[in-house]
């Protein structure tokens, strides 16, 4: 059976991992501008405060892990009031040593491993919208091991470093998202997969994207009436079923066209269109340019 979460992570194609060690003591605070790229933070020792725009403030403790798939602005600080130093992560130069905030000498009140990476997907915006804005995981030993490995690998310049880091971050993403899934998750992929009935339909949809699915057929897979399935899916995932199917087909089509270089007719068949012309019309309407032009365009957009 298809695994939608793994497929979404694979399509996001995380790469270019960068990490740094950060510590703070006494009065300190930093205010990071909106970054837009995925970032993560693990608390190695001590504790601090984290206030992410649009989210409730958090107290982070040793063993905590935070993931932000699209990193909005946020403030991190100690527990004593302090005017935060403003940092723009888009222009900040990469440090070679641990960054220290607040009192420069002596033992830190908190030590963290922070990092970011890039989603090298032509449809990253859509796929990220299916994930939570903020993932906070506490006390998961598997994540601690992965974070330690990312930290060690990023500090060494060994053969195969980029490939190892990319694979580690893929696993890190899946473990963090697994740990945050559940019916209490915000609307998106994880909440849909946490629903036992919706999960059956979503796995079928991902396993056979070329099938001419209807809401009735998907509802039957979930053992729900059409109206109950439509309402439940829309509330859980944040998109109606057919919009989700179209978005998933187009995400696959973009990947097949640009990353795998398949012919338009073959892409059309793989994502459920009876002819290249029908597919081209749908693709142009969804993406804003015809598939041939999209396939030839420089990557990164």
Q: pTM for this one?
A: 0.82
Tokens representing 36 are: 């837009």
- Residue for token pair 């905030």: 101
Please state the rounded mean pLDDT for residues 53-63. Answer: 93
Structure confidence at residue 233 (pLDDT): 97
Residue 206: pLDDT band (50, 70, 90) is very high
Structure confidence at residue 183 (pLDDT): 67
The fraction of the chain above a pLDDT of 70, given in percent, is 96
Please state the rounded mean pLDDT for residues 208-215. Answer: 95
Tokens representing 243 are: 């919009």
Q: All domains of the chain, ordered by start, with CATH?
A: 4-180 (2.60.120.280), 189-296 (1.10.10.60)
126 vs 104: which has the higher pLDDT: 104
Look at residue 286 and tell me whether its pLDDT is greater than 80. Answer: yes
Residue 301: pLDDT band (50, 70, 90) is very low
Q: Where are the alpha helices (DSSP H) in 239-299?
A: 241-254, 264-270, 276-287, 291-296
Distance from CA of residue 259 to its chain's centroid?
19
140 vs 57: which has the higher pLDDT: 57
Residue 94: pLDDT band (50, 70, 90) is low
Tokens representing 144 are: 């601690």
What whole-number distance in Å separates Cα of residue 175 and Cα of residue 15?
17
218 vs 19: which has the higher pLDDT: 218
Residue 136: pLDDT band (50, 70, 90) is very high
Please state the rounded mean pLDDT for residues 276-300. Answer: 89
Structure confidence at residue 95 (pLDDT): 64
Structure confidence at residue 19 (pLDDT): 84
Look at residue 50 and tell me whether its pLDDT is greater than 70. Answer: yes
What whole-number distance in Å separates Cα of residue 103 and Cα of residue 25?
5
Please state the rounded mean pLDDT for residues 23-29. Answer: 95
Look at residue 300 and tell me whether its pLDDT is greater than 60. Answer: no
pLDDT tens-digit readout, 165-195: 888 888 888 888 888 776 677 888 888 998 9
What whole-number distance in Å separates Cα of residue 50 and Cα of residue 74?
7
Q: DSSP of 145-182, one letter per residue?
A: HHHHHHHHHHH---TTHHHHHHHHHHHHHHHHHHHH-S
- Residue for token pair 């002819």: 275
Q: Mean pLDDT for the chain?
A: 89
Look at residue 1 and tell me whether its pLDDT is greater than 60. Answer: no
Which CA distances in Å does 293 have to 123, 252, 257, 258, 288?
16, 17, 10, 10, 10
Residue 222 DSSP symbol: T
Check if the beta carbon of residue 262 is closer than 8 Å to that of residue 273. Answer: no
Structure confidence at residue 161 (pLDDT): 84
């Amino acid at each position: 059976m298809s695994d939608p979460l793994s497929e979404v992570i694979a399509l996001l194609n995380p790469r270019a991992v960068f990490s740094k060690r950060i510590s703070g003591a006494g009065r300190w605070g930093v205010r990071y501008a909106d970054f837009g790229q995925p970032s993560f933070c693990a608390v190695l020792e001590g504790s601090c405060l984290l206030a992410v725009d649009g989210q409730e403030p958090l107290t982070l403790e040793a063993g905590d892990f935070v993931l932000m798939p699209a990193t909005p602005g946020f403030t991190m600080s100690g527990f004593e009031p302090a005017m935060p130093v403003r940092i723009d992560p888009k222009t900040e130069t990469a440090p070679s040593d641990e960054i220290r905030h607040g009192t420069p000498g002596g033992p830190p009140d908190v030590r963290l491993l922070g990092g970011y990476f890039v989603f090298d997907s032509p449809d990253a915006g859509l796929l990220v919208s299916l994930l939570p804005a903020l993932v906070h995981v506490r006390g998961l030993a598997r994540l601690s091991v992965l974070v330690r490995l990312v930290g060690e690998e990023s500090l060494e310049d060994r053969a195969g470093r980029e490939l190892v880091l990319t694979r580690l971050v893929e696993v890190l993403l899946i473990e963090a998202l697994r740990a945050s899934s559940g019916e209490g998750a915000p609307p998106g992929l994880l909440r849909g997969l946490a629903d036992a009935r919706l999960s059956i339909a979503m796995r079928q949809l991902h396993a056979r994207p070329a099938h001419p699915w209807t809401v009735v057929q998907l509802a039957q897979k979930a053992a729900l009436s059409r109206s109950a399935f439509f309402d439940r899916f829309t509330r859980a995932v944040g998109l109606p079923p057919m919009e989700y199917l179209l978005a998933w087909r187009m995400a696959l089509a973009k990947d097949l066209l640009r990353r795998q270089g398949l012919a338009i007719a073959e892409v059309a068949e793989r994502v459920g269109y009876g002819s290249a012309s029908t597919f081209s019309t749908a693709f142009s309407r969804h993406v804003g340019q015809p598939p041939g032009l999209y396939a030839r365009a420089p990557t990164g957009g």
